[in-house]
Chain A
Amino acid sequence: NAGVTQTPKFQVLKTGQSMTLQCAQDMNHEYMSWYRQDPGMGLRLIHYSVGAGITDQGEVPNGYNVSRSTTEDFPLRLLSAAPSQTSVYFCASNSGTGSNGYTFGSGTRLTVV
């Protein structure tokens, strides 16, 4: 049982490049979310999904796109990377029943130069 798997673990991008951060979970969880974590700012919600085909914006959605074609996968796309997107990105999932917290991936450390 792998839980939440994020790839890659590290990435360096040049300003203006695009890329996709991958997230997959094998727990059949309905809810999935993307957070970014910056020093002194804590975890901030980027986008979230309550099921396949359903996504919505969180607190800091600008510059990011998501889609949820399957229950298992929830990729995060950076459209045109900016230095302000340098951060650690975490994907998380939850069953949505309200009985447990979120399961987080190990994170992707992204640097935009």
Chain B
Amino acid sequence: SQTIHQWPATLVQPVGSPLSLECTVEGTSNPNLYWYRQAAGRGLQLLFYSVGIGQISSEVPQNLSASRPQDRQFILSSKKLLLSDSGFYLCAWGQGPGANVLTFGAGSRLTVL
């Protein structure tokens, strides 16, 4: 069966510090991978998606970047965090063309102080 792991679950970072959130998927190959951010009272905002190794599409200009160094690994990064980067970050995977059914990770709660 497929599983998705996301870490860390919670982190508190000072403004200007770097960020690295990791996501891995097991039990499938060549998944579509996604990073979403969820702010309080707002819908999930798609940040990045990837259909293959090294292929990253950005949905919104921002202080973040994503990388896919391996087929089932997706990393969200920032060189210098802003207060506005605080939020709940969710990794998800789906199979096939388009999004199809997405399976989400447990999320990473980021607080920037």
Tell me, yes or no, whether A binds B: no
B interface residues, Cβ below 8 angstroms from A = none
